């Protein structure tokens, strides 16, 4: 097959989105919709991606930096005009140009690979991806001749009554022979209801020149859906989520209630894990096998080992090794690492800390900026006091230490291996290994004080 270059149209503002954010940057399934398109293009074998930017060009360029080349469409004068902006980058290229829309996040790379392969096999001048829609309103109609060959595409505003009755629509996705594309682009005009340069006119020009214009029909029209409003954005989100959940279940993951479970496309979950309702799994999260996640758990870009139980937990940008139990009401903040066998109980927050194997933080504690060894027991109400108002400092708790309840460890401080800290202490100095640290006032009782107060 010839080499493949894509031109992704991402210049539009998306007026119906009513947003200051470029339409193509609105997320679906945890990623900007244009990122989904770019990922699909790469899967299909693109050797180069060109993105046409316009409204919010700086934001789009920053979001996709290093993944593509960018050309500016300063004035939006139609899809044909948008592709013309890539002319300089395409003139020396001899191969297949695939034109994609940046607002079609449900596209799969497998479908684009099929379109590319069939285009090359037919040695076509152009091949359009079509779909059959129950309600084709708003879409350009694919017009075929008596033999079923594509003769052109008519935009809805320019279509006749007979043409409007056609349910096969143009998805806005094409493959072109690069030289045929550039030659035909030089012939299109803006003599239409919109006063724009339609890329669809290229197909009519090629057909009139008796060039081969092919078509590939998408098996599922939802996959080609363009997003133009917040309502459609929600529909795409729902469709992508259902597709992801189905794939996970088919690969051995139990999802108790798919309707109340939200999992990004980029999340990976191993078999025999059970996901309870009202769980959000986002970003580059990886979850091992035999886990129990949820209910009411949110995990963002975290690595979770095997046989982990997390319920009523918010974890983001952290690592949880195998055989860990956490919850309920636990917050695991960035750069937290819970080692194998750790137990974290209710109302605990851990931040920027390493907790060693088989250590326990049962309840009502804040562990921040801490290096904790193995088999440490943290009593209820313990706080590692890491901030003096200007700088943050670290606390070290070595193996087998026992920290009594309602203890403040004022960093920087070290509690040595096997040491004990008495309940209610505020520790400001290091506690040597095997020592008992006590830092509280001696109790004194004033007899008859209550009676005198009366």
The pLDDT tens digits of the residues spanning 185-204 come to: 999 998 887 889 989 899 88
174 has which bridge partners?
A: 99, 128
Cβ atoms 72, 54 nearer than 8 A: yes
What pLDDT is stored for residue 230 in this prediction?
Answer: 96
398 pLDDT higher than 80: yes
Q: Do 261 and 306 have their domain in common?
A: yes
Higher pLDDT, 116 or 146: 116
Task: Tell me if 204 is assigned to some domain.
Answer: yes
Q: Of 105, 218, 232, 235, give the one whose Cα is nearest residue 171.
A: 218
User: Which parts are annotated binding residues for Mg(2+)?
Assistant: 103, 228
Q: Do 214 and 343 have their domain in common?
A: no
320-349 tens-digit pLDDT: 999 999 999 999 999 999 999 999 999 999
Q: Do 15 and 124 have their domain in common?
A: yes
Neighbours of 440 (CB within 10 A): 12
Over residues 255-283, mean pLDDT: 97
Round the average pLDDT of the chain to a whole number and report it. 95
Q: Do 219 and 270 have their domain in common?
A: no
- Provide the number of structural domains found in the chain: 2
What pLDDT is stored for residue 35 in this prediction?
Answer: 97
Q: Do 293 and 431 have their domain in common?
A: yes
∠ Cα 347 271 279 (to 5°): 35
Query: 212: exposed, middle or buried (C-beta count within 10 Å: 0-12, 13-18, 19+)?
Result: middle
Q: Do 279 and 390 have their domain in common?
A: yes
What pLDDT is stored for residue 192 in this prediction?
Answer: 81
413-425 tens-digit pLDDT: 999 999 999 999 9
Residues 6+ apart with CB under 8 A from 447: none
Q: Of 338, 333, 335, give the one whose Cα is nearest residue 374.
A: 338
Q: What is the CATH number of the domain that holds 187?
A: 3.90.550.10
Q: How confident is the model at residue 13 (pLDDT cuts 50, 70, 90)?
A: confident
What pLDDT is stored for residue 205 in this prediction?
Answer: 93
What pLDDT is stored for residue 342 in this prediction?
Answer: 98
Task: Tell me if 241 is assigned to some domain.
Answer: no
pLDDT > 90: percent of the chain: 84
Task: Tell me if 191 is assigned to some domain.
Answer: yes
Decide which of 224, 241, 274 is a domain's last residue.
224
435 pLDDT higher than 90: yes
Q: Cis bond leading into 311, ω under 30°?
A: no
Task: Tell me if 450 is assigned to some domain.
Answer: no
Over residues 110-131, mean pLDDT: 96
What pLDDT is stored for residue 157 in this prediction?
Answer: 84
Q: Do 210 and 318 have their domain in common?
A: no
**Residue keyed to tokens 């700086």:** 58
| pTM score | 0.89
Q: Any catalytic annotation for residue 316?
A: no
Q: Do 94 and 12 have their domain in common?
A: yes
Distance CA 371, CA 414 (A): 9
User: Which parts are annotated binding residues?
Assistant: 9-12, 23, 73, 78-79, 103, 140, 155, 170, 228, 333, 351, 366, 377, 386-387, 423, 440
User: Which parts are annotated binding residues for UDP-N-acetyl-alpha-D-glucosamine?
Assistant: 9-12, 23, 73, 78-79, 140, 155, 170, 228, 333, 351, 366, 377
Domain that holds residue 415: 252-437
403-415 tens-digit pLDDT: 999 999 999 999 9
Q: Do 112 and 171 have their domain in common?
A: yes
What pLDDT is stored for residue 116 in this prediction?
Answer: 97
What pLDDT is stored for residue 156 in this prediction?
Answer: 85
Q: Do 258 and 136 have their domain in common?
A: no
454 pLDDT higher than 90: no
390 pLDDT higher than 80: yes
218-228 tens-digit pLDDT: 999 899 999 99
Task: Tell me if 242 is assigned to some domain.
Answer: no
Distance CA 320, CA 213 (A): 54
What pLDDT is stored for residue 442 in this prediction?
Answer: 86
Q: Do 422 and 373 have their domain in common?
A: yes
209: left (phi over 0), alpha (psi -120 to 50) or beta: alpha
Pick the catalytic residue: 26, 311, 337, 363? 363
Q: Do 119 and 23 have their domain in common?
A: yes
Task: Tell me if 116 is assigned to some domain.
Answer: yes
158 pLDDT higher than 90: no
Which contacts (CB < 8 Å, 24+ apart) does range 325-334 have? 327/297, 332/302
Which contacts (CB < 8 Å, 24+ apart) does range 327-333 have? 327/297, 332/302
Q: What is the CATH number of the domain that holds 344?
A: 2.160.10.10
Over residues 23-37, mean pLDDT: 96
Task: Tell me if 239 is assigned to some domain.
Answer: no
Task: Tell me if 444 is assigned to some domain.
Answer: no
């Amino acid at each position: 097959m010839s080499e493949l270059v894509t031109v992704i149209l991402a210049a539009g503002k998306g007026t119906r989105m009513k947003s200051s954010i470029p339409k193509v940057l609105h997320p679906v399934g945890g990623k900007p919709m244009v990122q989904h398109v770019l990922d699909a293009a790469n899967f299909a074998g693109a050797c180069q991606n060109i993105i046409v930017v316009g409204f919010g060009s700086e934001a789009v360029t920053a979001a996709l930096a290093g993944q593509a080349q960018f050309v500016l469409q300063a004035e939006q004068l139609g899809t044909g005009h948008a592709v013309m902006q890539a002319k300089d980058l395409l003139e020396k290229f001899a191969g297949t140009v695939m034109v994609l829309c940046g607002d079609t996040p449900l596209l799969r790379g497998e479908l684009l690979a099929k379109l590319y392969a069939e285009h090359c096999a037919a040695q076509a001048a152009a091949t359009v991806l079509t779909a059959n829609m129950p309600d084709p309103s708003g879409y350009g109609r694919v017009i075929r001749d008596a033999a079923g060959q594509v003769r052109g595409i008519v935009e809805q505003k320019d279509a006749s009554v007979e043409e409007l009755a056609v349910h096969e629509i143009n998805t806005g996705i094409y493959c072109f022979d690069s030289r045929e594309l550039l030659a035909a682009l030089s012939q299109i005009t803006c003599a239409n209801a919109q006063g724009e340069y339609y890329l669809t006119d290229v197909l009519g020009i090629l057909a009139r020149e008796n060039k081969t214009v092919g078509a590939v029909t998408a098996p599922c029209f939802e996959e080609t859906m363009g997003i133009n409003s917040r309502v459609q954005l929600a529909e795409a989100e729902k469709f992508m989520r259902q597709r992801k959940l189905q794939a996970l279940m088919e690969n051995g993951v139990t999802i108790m209630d798919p309707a109340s479970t939200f999992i990004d496309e980029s999340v990976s979950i191993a078999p025999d894990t059970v996901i309870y309702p009202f769980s959000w799994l986002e970003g580059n999260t990886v979850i091992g096998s035999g886990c129990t996640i949820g209910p009411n758990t949110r995990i963002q870009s975290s690595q979770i080992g095997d046989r982990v139980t997390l319920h009523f937990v918010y974890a983001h940008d952290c690592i949880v090794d195998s055989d860990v139990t956490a919850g309920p009401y636990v917050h695991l903040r960035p750069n937290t690492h819970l080692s194998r066998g750790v137990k974290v109980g209710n109302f605990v927050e851990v931040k920027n800390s390493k907790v060693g194997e088989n250590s326990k933080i049962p309840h009502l504690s804040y562990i921040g900026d801490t290096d904790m060894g193995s088999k440490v027991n943290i009593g209820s109400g313990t706080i590692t006091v890491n901030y003096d108002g200007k700088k943050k400092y670290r606390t070290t708790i070595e193996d087998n230490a026992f920290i009594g309840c309602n203890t403040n460890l004022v960093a920087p401080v070290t509690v040595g291996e096997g040491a004990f800290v008495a309940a209610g202490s505020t520790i400001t100095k290091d506690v040597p290994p095997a020592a008992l640290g006590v830092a509280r006032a001696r109790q004194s009782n004033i007899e008859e004080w209550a009676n005198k107060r009366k």
